[in-house]
Structure 1
């Protein structure tokens, strides 16, 4: 079955009402990798209930509609899709516990042509359930590698943010744990690719890989430390491209260039010297 452009653009998402607790907020931070040093009180603020703070990237796990592209009536070959880009605008950082409503829509579809795949752009808004206040807007690009050539529009394609050519202003190393993916998945992404060796092998990986959004959270934490003075409320937006998978246990180095209220960034897996996040752009308050 091929993608039906009109049907997919009008995909009927239901609102997702999501009640989360302080435990969920701490578990998300532990999944990103905070808390390995029991004497690091900067990280303790995000993994301990006393004066608990939410990481700025917490909205990525709130109001999530699930793996809706696995529905065969979408026309998408879900086995061959990859998460290509992720964006986040934080209107107000969610409280450490509360109830939110997630509303998702397909914002655009680009047909790259037969043998070249398709791009599906989605948008999710996260609202406070009690007041209706908009807390965050998330945008995502999914590269559907097997689904080009269905006769859809060939654009517009999202503009790529070019990184500066000068030396980075900051470089932050973060060591992930071998069990990182097993912890991160408890925040809601149970794809066996991140846990089961046989599934990872069938997908062409030597072992289970880390969730892309976990790497995204690590970059968000690096930015919080390096350019936000440790204040999660100081980060306004975060956009990036996923360029290569991370294996749990690798060290992630986030390089940051600062130009006023804009921070450009990328992340590398140090042991393999491979760029895993690229063309990153963050806006500061």
Structure 2
């Protein structure tokens, strides 16, 4: 079996220094649609959008944590951990959770420590949970949990793990917005450090079973969080405490995302979110998605 669960879980964590600056933050924000908000008549110069793109007004979307320091150690790093030997063409990003311990600074230097936190046997596939904890001189900054879905690597009789499925939200959404995905969105987003050829190389995409390159799941993840912050959190990124999703389907560059949002009870401080591909009869894209907030 290419995945040795016991060996992967017992492996020593990998630590390394990561750095980022304002240019990295701005590039990431552009990669998830900043400056192109269709709800604004002139988004490139709108004051709300400039908070994502102008260095003098910059604040940091918490999903930037998935790419800060080029996301290392991250999903691809997790595939080279001891006990893990898999074909990249069989790998999909199954889910993601970011927990923010305090607002992310626009410039920083920190230590990122990554390890395989769990290995689950789903029968026809395996799921690796790659946990990355990041701290700077002032203490913890954020924790990333990436679920790595590896097709064809399950069936050894291991723990199936918890279910990520949530009950459907009650009633119609409080808000629905649409976010178009540019034809070159994946090419722009990958400059933040996710070089998986699945998102750029047509031949590699065919090997993975797709007609053409697909958008990074984490790009959709960022687009969605920005929509939630802008729509229901008053544009205040510091209100986000955690953000969890399950990647339920693919997005092709050029499509339009439909983002539905339900406010939770005030005491819960949570927003439920569903994302679908508007161009494909609302095919599921992100499911079981929750933004916890102050």
TM-score band by shorter chain is: over 0.9
Q: 1:99 is matched with which residue?
A: 109
Are 1:252 and 2:261 counterparts? no
Contact 1:69 1:78 in 2 (8 A): no
The Cα offsets for residues 186-222 of structure 1, whole Å up to 9 and x where unpaired, read as 1110111111122222222222111100000011001
1:233 to 2:238 alignment? yes
Name the CA distance, whole Å, in 2 between partners of 1:206 and 1:236: 37
Q: Give the C-alpha shift of residue 73 in structure 1.
A: 5.2
Q: Secondary structure at the match of 2:213?
A: coil
Contact 1:77 1:147 in 2 (8 A): no
Deviations 1:98-120 (A, max 9, x none): 1121111111111233xx21121
> Which of residues 266, 279, 284 in structure 1 aligns to 2:288?
279
Question: What's the TM-score, normalizing by structure 1?
Answer: 0.92
SS of the equivalent of 1:50 reads helix
- Match among 138, 143, 146 for residue 137 of structure 1: 143
The CA deviation at 1:11 is 2.8
**Residue 26 in structure 1 maps to residue 31 in structure 2:** no
Partner of residue 40, structure 2? none
In 2, are the aligned partners of 1:194 and 1:209 still within 8 Å (CA)?
A: yes
Q: Cα–Cα, structure 1 residues 70 and 104, in superposed 2: closer, same or farther, change >3 Å? A: closer
- TM-score, L = length of structure 2: 0.90
Residue matched to 2:39? none
Contact 2:7 2:83 (C-alpha < 8 Å) held by counterparts: no
Q: What is the CA deviation profile of residues 197-255 of structure 1, one whole-angstrom value per residue up to 9, with x for unaligned ones?
A: 22222222222111100000011001101221110111111111101111112111110
Contact persistence 2:214–2:251 (CA under 8 A): yes
What residue is the counterpart of 1:40 in the other structure?
46
Name the Cα RMSD after superposition: 1.7
**1:214 aligned onto 2:223:** no
In structure 2, C-alpha distance between the alignment counterparts of 1:163 and 1:58, rounded to whole Å: 28
Q: Structure 1: where are the runs of 5+ without partners? A: none
Deviations along 1:102-139, one digit per CA (max 9) or x if unpaired, are 111111111233xx2112122111111x33x1111111
1:2-59: CA deviation from partner (whole Å, max 9, x where unpaired): 3212111123342121111100000000111111332322111111112211112111
1:191 aligns with 2:201: no
Paired residues of 1:256 and 1:266 also in contact (CA < 8 A):
yes
Partner in structure 2 of residue 90 of structure 1: 100
Q: What's the offset of the Cα at 1:70?
A: 4.3
Contact 1:2 1:150 in 2 (8 A): no
How many angstroms apart in 1 are the aligned matches of 2:85 and 2:58?
43
Partner-residue secondary structure (3-state), 2:55: coil
2:273 alignment partner in structure 1: 265
Question: What's the CA shift string for 1:51-88, capped at 9, x where partnerless?
Answer: 21111211111252151354395133432121111111
5 Å matches for 1:110-149? 110-113=120-123, 116-128=124-136, 130-131=137-138, 133-149=139-155
Task: Give the number of equivalent residue pairs.
Answer: 280
CA distance in 2: counterparts of 1:214 and 1:277, whole angstroms: 11
Contact 2:90 2:208 in 1 (8 A): no
Any unmatched runs of 5+ in structure 2?
37-42
